[in-house]
Structure formats: C-alpha cells, structure tokens
C-alpha cells in the first residue's frame, strides 16, 4: 500500500490499482473491516482449489473500486435530474461495506435453518454498523449516512443508484466472478467487466417513473456472458462435489455444536475462520458429553486434515424432472436430519454422518434490468425481451443443470441413484400432505 496523505493507492492482482479516498481508508482501518482479512471469500473451496485463499477484504476493496469507476461512467453519460445523484456519494462506501457482516467461511452458515444462526450476512451487518470506530469513520459523510448505507446494502430505500450494490447488475457479481476465477485458476469467470461498465446508464422506468441503473442496448450481450460465467463457476467451483462435501461437514459441525449448547447463534457473529474453528475445538475438548467427543475427536480433525465426506451417489437435477422430492430436501430441517440419521443407521454410520445435499440459490440468475433500446426504455424481466435471446428461460435452464442431488457419507459407502430416490419417495409417502395436497415439491 502506498499512502498519499489520508488516501491510499493499493496494488491489486485483479484490478491493478485501487485508489481509496480518506473516508474509505478510515472505514478500512476499523477492526470490523480488518476482520474481513481473515474470512475466506469462498469458504471451504481452498480444500479443493488451493489458490482460493483470497478473502472478503480483497473482494470488498474490488467492489469499492468498481463502484467509483461506475459512478464516473454514469456521470459522464446523458444528463439526468440532479436528485438522481443525491445518494451517489454513498454508493462506494456501501460497496466497501456490503460484506461487513459475513460469518466465518462466508456463506456456508447461511444455509442452516434460521434458528441456528442470528440472520444472514446482510442482516448481521447492522450489528457491525453499531461499532463506535465504524460510526466515527462514517461521520464525515453526515447525519443519517450510516443508516442510508445500510439501506443500500439491503436493497431498500429510494436511492436511484442502489442497483450498483444490490440488484441484477450489482458490481459484487462482476468482482467476485473475476476474482474467484483468478484465484481458483479457472478461466470461466472472465466476464467482460469493462464492456458492462461502459454499458451502464441511468434510466427512467416507463411504468413507475423512477430512475435506476440500467443498461444500454448494445451491452445486453454482456448479460449472456455474465450468465454463462456464473453457471460455469457454480458448476465447477461453488457447487463442486468436494466443496459441497467440505461445506456440509462444516455446517454439520456448527449445527451440532449449537444443538449441544457448546455455542450460541449470537456467538457465531464476529469470529473469523480460524477463531471459530479454534473455539469450537476448545469447547468440545473440554466437554465430557458424547456429542462433544464426536466433534473434538472425529469431525473437527476430519475438516482440519481434509478427510471429507464421500459421495455415496449423485443425481443431476435434470434427471429429476418427473420426480417429486420431500419439501425438506434443500434445507437443513429437523425432518431432513431425522431422515439422514435413519439412513446413517442403515449404512452402519453414526448419527450426523450422512448428509443429503441439494443446493438451492433461486436468485442465482435473477434478471430485472432496464434496457435502453434506441431511446425506448423497456424492462428485461421474467418475460424476456422481443428480438433477444430468451435470457430468463436460459437462466432457469442453467440453474437447473448446475444443481446436483448428492448423498455424502463420512466413511466410504456406495448406493445407487435408484436406492436414494426410493428412500426419499418412501419418506415422502410417510409425510402428511401440505396445503396443496402434496407431500413434496417438484424439482
């Protein structure tokens, strides 16, 4: 880092040079933000891709950088009413702080049931905004700025430019795809960020009359690139079987520790990756119960030493088109846990040592973007847009083909896909019908 007064010039392997103003530097210097240096951007992915040790700190600086650039491009574009720019000065700081509330190992714990955690990382951000050093860092922005920044992060409020931080065109996606691909050593995330940035425009919604960040028509093709990059990164990195096995083991450790009273949901807020693993090990090691012994002697060492759960079988989602699965198949509910423990018993394994994994991220390919087509502003949403590739339908297809239903076992076991589906169907038949009169959900 090279200092210039209170501003900084930072060398970055992805964006080369990041220039931070005095307020951004003050934010970065708080303990709440420095904590992000010790939270890996991709959670447990480094156990599969050794280079994936980059952090939420790196990523946040990158999103800040893109926000500053995007604002400059938008301001150089066609004139818009002055009130549109009123909240623009807060956008870079919202970009910088958008991940301030992340748990240890990033998104993994957000997959647990709500009662196991204190909220998702955006909700948890509010706790960090209460820290006195961060309040002091934000003071130069004026009264109410911290509250408005939090609303931008949550995708709320009337800031016309909040879509740069939360939305279909948010800079977070552009940054993490490029950075994650770089550090994983794969080519899939090389989105045409420059083209996307240059294609940004502030447009007026013809239906509501509100102004928001949209895209010039000539740059719409870059959305296809963004969709395919996300698809390839989810399929090959984020939902790689080894990454999902490690994530499942980590979630099972934390879930079991919470159930056993070794740690409370609130205590999950704040620790970094290594701090949480250390504290779980310490508490489990000093407890005399059988659950604590399982954590201390078997599961935590397995995660540390990369002895991950094994695939017993897997079924791509596209092969489940005519299959109705139990409603709990994508969550971490007590019903699912009982089913898993029943299967563990059948396979000669201990409680908690079978994991059914069917990741869900319905907003993965969300599309809700205003597009300027030769002076006519239209919305590209779920209905698509005449004359363009059917992006909404494509997004749904990509999502469906990226998902895989997997059964993991803590020791090597092998079962057939047919066996797994019969066990799930049997569980579905035993459940009571829901309000729709069915016992499950179609894939």
Q: At 187, which helix (H) or strand (E)?
A: none
28, 96 Cβ separation under 8 angstroms: yes
Here the contacts of 192-196 (C-beta below 8 Å, separation 24 or greater) are: 192/222, 192/225, 193/66, 195/219, 195/222, 196/169, 196/222, 196/226
Quick one: 238 and 314 in the same domain? no
CA dist., res. 187 & res. 191, Å (int):
10
Alpha carbons 33 and 39: distance in angstroms, whole number: 11
**How much is the pLDDT for 174?**
92
Q: Residue 39 has what pLDDT?
A: 96
Whether residue 182 sits in one domain with residue 254:
yes
* pLDDT at residue number 321: 85
DSSP E strands, 234-299: none
The upper half-sphere exposure of residue 191, i.e. CA atoms within 13 Å in the direction of its Cβ, equals 31
Whether residues 296 and 315 share a domain: the answer is: no
Is 373 a domain residue? Answer: yes
Among 22, 28, 90, 106, smallest CA distance to 60 is for 28
Q: How does pLDDT run along the chain (443 residues), one tens digit per residue?
A: 444 448 899 999 999 999 999 999 999 999 999 999 999 999 999 999 999 999 999 999 999 999 999 999 999 988 999 999 988 999 999 999 999 999 999 889 988 888 888 777 777 888 889 899 999 999 999 999 999 999 999 988 889 999 999 888 889 999 999 999 999 999 887 888 999 999 999 999 999 999 999 999 888 888 878 888 888 999 999 999 999 999 999 999 999 999 999 999 999 999 999 999 999 999 999 998 999 999 999 999 999 999 999 999 999 999 998 888 998 998 888 899 999 999 999 999 999 999 999 998 766 666 788 999 888 998 887 666 655 556 667 777 888 888 999 999 999 999 999 999 999 999 877 765 554 444 455 55
188 and 273 in a common domain: yes
Domain of 404 in residue numbering reads as 310-443
What is the pLDDT at residue 4?
A: 43
- The pLDDT value recorded for residue 432 is 58
Q: Are both 149 and 97 inside the same structural domain? A: yes
What are the distances in angstroms from CA 137 to CA 215, 234, 344?
33, 36, 51
Choose the final residue of a domain: 307, 329, 360: 307
* CATH number, position 183: 1.10.3210.10
User: Which of 289, 307, 325 is the last residue before a domain boundary?
Assistant: 307
Q: Does 200 fall in a domain?
A: no
- For residues 344 and 277, membership in a common domain is answered with no
Number of domains in the chain: 2
HEC per residue, 369-435: EEEEECCEEEEEECCECCCCCCHHHHHHHHHHHHCEEEEEECCCCCCCHHHHHHHHHHHHHHCCCCC
Residue that finishes a domain, picked among 277, 307, 337:
307
Q: What is the pLDDT of residue 391?
A: 67
Instruction: Please check whether residues 179 and 320 belong to one and the same domain.
Output: no
What per-residue confidence (pLDDT) applies to 153?
Answer: 92
27 and 60 in a single domain? The answer is: yes
The two three-digit tokens of residue 85, written as one number: 């720019």
Same domain, 224 and 372: no
Q: Are residues 225 and 286 in the same domain?
A: yes
Residue 286 sits in the same domain as residue 318? no
> Is there a single domain that holds both residue 75 and residue 41?
yes
d(CA 112, CA 254): 9
């Amino acid at each position: 880092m090279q200092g210039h007064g209170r501003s900084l010039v930072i060398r970055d392997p992805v964006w080369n040079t990041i220039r931070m103003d005095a307020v951004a530097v003050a934010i970065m210097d708080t303990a709440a933000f420095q904590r992000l240096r010790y939270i890996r951007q991709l959670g447990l992915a480094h156990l599969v891709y050794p280079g994936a040790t980059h952090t939420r700190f790196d990523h946040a600086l990158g999103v800040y950088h893109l926000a500053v650039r995007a604002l400059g491009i938008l301001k150089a574009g066609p004139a818009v009413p002055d009130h549109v720019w009123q909240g623009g000065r807060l956008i870079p700081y919202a970009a910088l702080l958008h991940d301030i509330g992340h748990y240890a190992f990033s998104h993994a714990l957000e997959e647990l049931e709500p009662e196991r955690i204190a909220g998702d990382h955006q909700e948890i951000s509010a706790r960090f905004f209460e820290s006195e050093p961060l309040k002091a860092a934000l003071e130069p922005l004026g009264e109410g700025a911290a509250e408005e920044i939090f609303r931008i992060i949550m995708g709320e409020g009337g800031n016309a430019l909040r879509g740069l931080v939360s939305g279909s065109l948010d800079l977070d996606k552009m940054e993490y795809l490029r950075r994650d691909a770089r550090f994983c050593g794969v080519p899939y995330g090389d989105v045409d960020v420059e083209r996307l940035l240059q294609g940004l425009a502030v447009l007026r919604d013809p239906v509501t009359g509100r102004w928001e960040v949209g895209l010039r028509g000539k740059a719409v093709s870059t959305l296809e690139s963004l969709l395919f990059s996300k698809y390839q990164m989810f399929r090959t990195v984020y939902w790689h079987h080894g990454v999902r096995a490690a994530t499942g083991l980590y979630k099972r450790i934390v879930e079991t520790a919470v159930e056993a009273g070794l740690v409370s949901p609130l205590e999950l807020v704040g620790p970094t990756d290594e701090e949480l693993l250390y504290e779980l090990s310490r508490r489990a090691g000093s407890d005399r119960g059988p659950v604590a012994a399982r954590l201390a002697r078997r599961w935590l060492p397995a995660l540390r030493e990369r002895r991950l759960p094994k695939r017993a079988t897997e079924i791509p989602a596209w092969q489940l088109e005519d299959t109705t699965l139990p409603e709990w198949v994508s969550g971490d509910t007590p019903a699912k846990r009982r089913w898993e423990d029943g299967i563990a018993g059948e396979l000669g394994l201990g409680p908690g040592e079978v994991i059914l994994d069917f990741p869900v991220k319905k907003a993965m390919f969300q599309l809700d973007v205003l597009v300027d087509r030769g002076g006519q502003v239209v919305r590209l949403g779920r209905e698509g847009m005449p004359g363009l590739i059917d992006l909404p339908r494509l997004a749904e297809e990509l999502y469906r083909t990226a998902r895989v239903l997997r059964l993991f076992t803590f020791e090597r076991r092998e079962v057939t896909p047919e066996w797994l589906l019969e066990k799930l169907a049997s569980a579905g038949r035993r459940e009571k019908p829901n309000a729709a009169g069915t016992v499950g959900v179609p894939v």
